[in-house]
Amino acid sequence: MKILKIAIACTFFCAANSFAEPVPVPASKAAYIGTWKGKDMSLTIDPSGKISYKRVYSAAKKVDLSIELARFHGDDFDAGVGIFHSTFVVSKPPLMSGGKTKMVVDGIELTKED
């Protein structure tokens, strides 16, 4: 039953999201643009505000979403539509370290792909 509820919510979210216009990434946050990868997580942020997010929590629990940027607030950003949105908590914004650009999102260290 729980899986059915999740499937229905995801279907509604995807349908609602298909009508949303992405918010372009502001120039002040251009460092966020690109493809980021870390342990069990990948995140792609397009300049237009389209976001691709994949995360593996366990063999049975995986998330694979294409969503739209809603807004930045501080280093964090929201993606999604209306009540169906998620806040990506950025505890370390993009920063060059050891020749690679890294940031920490939702507790996962991500490295920007070249």
In tens, the pLDDT along 27-70 reads 999 999 999 999 999 999 999 999 999 999 888 999 898 999 99
Q: Mapped to the 3 state alphabet, what secondary structure does 40-56 carry?
A: CEEEEECCCCEEEEEEE
- In the chain, where the domains are located: 2-112
DSSP at 69:
E
Give the length of the chain: 114
Instruction: Give the DSSP H/E element, type plus range, for residue 91.
Output: strand 90-97
pLDDT single digits (tens) 70-95: 999 999 999 988 788 889 999 999 99
Query: DSSP secondary-structure letter at 61?
Result: -
Residue 32 has phi, psi (to 5 degrees) of -75, -20
Is CATH 3.30.1490 the right assignment for the domain spanning 2-112?
A: no
Share the mean pLDDT of the chain.
Answer: 86
